[in-house]
Structures are given as structure tokens and as C-alpha cells.
Chains A and B, each alone.
Chain A
């Protein structure tokens, strides 16, 4: 079975802190994605990556950056966390044109 893991299920950070969210997949998938999910807004794509060291902006990249130094790991970075980044963050991976597999999610609260 494909396994996508995220570093934390719950995280509480203060405004202005730098936050790292890690995602690891074990199926040698080329594509990895970071989404945030908010009530009434559904899933929105922040960034995605087609390959190591490759990144593409999604629909809402502002305030975020990403890093993909190894194929299995895709990190989402909040350079200076703000309260409007309180959300559920979901990582996913896929092989090309195949369905996406999701991690369990990280519920981030910024106070």
C-alpha cells in the first residue's frame, strides 16, 4: 500500500515563527502536492512538484515556500506564520496521471 506520512497531526505556532511541514511518500512517486483545506473553501493547491528540485506554484502560494531535495520528501515552509495560515494542511503524491494518495493531514493553529 502507498503510504504518505506527514510530520505532525497537530501543530500550534506563534505569529512570526518559521514553520516546517514535512511530507514523505514511499512509492517513488514523481508528483507531490501541498494543499490547505478550510471550511467552505474546499481543498486549495499551494505548491506542487514534478521532480526533485522542481516546484510549481499552485493557486495560493503567497506566504509559503517549498523544498524538494529528495524524491520521497516534500516540505512546506511558512517563512513567518500568520493567523490566516491556521488551517488543515494535506500532502499528496501521485505517479504521472494516476490518482493522488493523501497523507493524514496536519492541523496547524497560529496564535
Chain B
């Protein structure tokens, strides 16, 4: 069993749909990091959070420390949101464990 899991693995949505990507982890963490990787490889940091909720534009990330679960939501999805979304558990002493990624495709 992986220490960081994501669901779904692949997701196809129609433009405008509300999207949720889930991340669950089984280890103690200092924070959780959501990353976005577009085709071509570049990785962009979206959020880092250790409690509660953060919002940036149409993106919202939440974390429940007790349940060891985080979600990334995209409101009013757009084709430019198509990417791989990766959650990463930041463990103490700087060790990071990456989830396998969720591949999102938003169709016009």
C-alpha cells in the first residue's frame, strides 16, 4: 500500500464542471503540497497547507489532519486546467512522499 494515494487516477470532465481530486496519506506529515504538471513536464506549486482550507482563483484545497485526507477542487473547469495533479506529503526532516498523480482532461 502506497503511503500517499490519490483518486481518481484519471478524470475527464466537461468544461464548466466542478472537479474534486482526493489525496489520502498514511504517515505523519508537517504539511501537504498540491502540484500541477502540464504536458511538457514543468511542475508548478499550487498550494501548501497544514490545516483548514486555502483558495486561489478557481482552485480550493482542503485538508483534514485527523482523517489524513486532502482534496483539491476546481470550480468552473476549463480546458487549460488539463494537467496532472500531484499531492505530496511533506514529512518531518524534509522528506517528501509523492502521490501517483491524477490526470485531468477537461473537454470543451
Contacts and interface: CB of A to CB of B under 8 A. Distances in A.
Nearest to A37: B41
Contacts of B101: 42
Contacts, number: 50
A105 B43 contact: yes
Contacts of B83: none
B42 A102 contact: yes
B71 to A, nearest CB: 18
Residue of B40, B42, B43, B44 ringed by the most chain A CB atoms within 10 A? B43
Contacts of A37: 41
Given A42-B100, A45-B96, 8 more contacts: A31-B94, A43-B88, A43-B98, A97-B30, A97-B31, A99-B48, A104-B42, A105-B40
A101 interface: yes
Contact of B42 (A43, A45, A105): A105
Given A31-B94, A100-B33, A90 B41 contact: yes
Decide if the interface of chain B is mainly helix, strand, loop or mixed. strand
B20 interface: no
Interface in B54-95: 86, 88, 90, 94
What's the interface size class on B, roughly?
Answer: 20 to 34
Task: Give the size category of A's interface with B.
Answer: 20 to 34
Contact of B33 (A31, A99, A104): A99
A89 B33 CA distance: 20
B50 to A, nearest CB: 10
Given A102-B43, A105-B42, A43 B94 contact: no
Given A90-B43, A102-B42, A105-B41, A96 B94 contact: yes
Nearest to B94: A31
The 4 lowest CB-CB distance pairs between A and B, nearest first, are A105-B41, A102-B43, A99-B48, A43-B98
A90 B86 CA distance: 14
